[in-house]
Amino acid sequence: MTIAIYPGSFDPLTNGHLDILERASKLFDRVIIAVLINSSKQPFLPIDDKIQLITLSVSRFKNVEVDSFTGLTVEYAKIKKASALIRGLRAISDFEYEMQMAQMNKSLYHELETIFLTPKPEFNFISSSLVKEIARLGADISEYVPEAVNDYLLKMVK
């Protein structure tokens, strides 16, 4: 069985993330969307809410599971017996950071391959940070995030 992890902050999950997840779910038997619990950084969304929103948003993918983790991604990948780590690559601006992470992860754990997937062009400019910013400033974000996330953020910024 081929297992992939899709780690990230998902603060919040966007339609771009969902697009990457859908592609990954067609390539692997099992995909685990793994939300980082970062104790040194205060997230916008509490972890339990993030998990709940992601679970609601990915329910249509039968081979996708939602989980959270702390510590090194490669250690989490070993525990889950994952052979691949999925990352979305949008623009050249993502490239340097993503390349560095992929090479560090490879150096830490040779068995794990990072697979970069690109979203549909219409999702290329969407990022969690921009979505947060425009939601706070009162813009309609329904085009950029799953329905559950949109409803949640609307209540949050009211």
Nearer to ligand PNS, 101 or 115 (CB): 101
Asked about 127 being catalytic, the answer comes back as: no
Nearer to ligand PNS, 13 or 158 (CB): 13
Asked about 17 being catalytic, the answer comes back as: yes
Crossing angle for the helix pair 128-136 and 147-157, to the nearest 10 degrees: 40
Nearer to ligand PNS, 36 or 141 (CB): 36
Point out which residues bind ligand PNS (CB under 6 A).
Answer: 7-9, 36, 72-73, 101, 104-105
* 10, 45, 52, 63 from 49: Cα distances, Å: 11, 6, 5, 22
Asked about 110 being catalytic, the answer comes back as: no
Q: What is the DSSP string of 7-30?
A: EE--TT--HHHHHHHHHHHHHSSE
- In the chain, DSSP finds a helix count (H) and a strand count (E) of 6, 5
Asked about 41 being catalytic, the answer comes back as: yes
Q: In whole angstroms, how close is the CB of 120 to ligand PNS at the nearest point?
A: 19
Please identify every residue annotated as catalytic: 17, 41, 90, 128
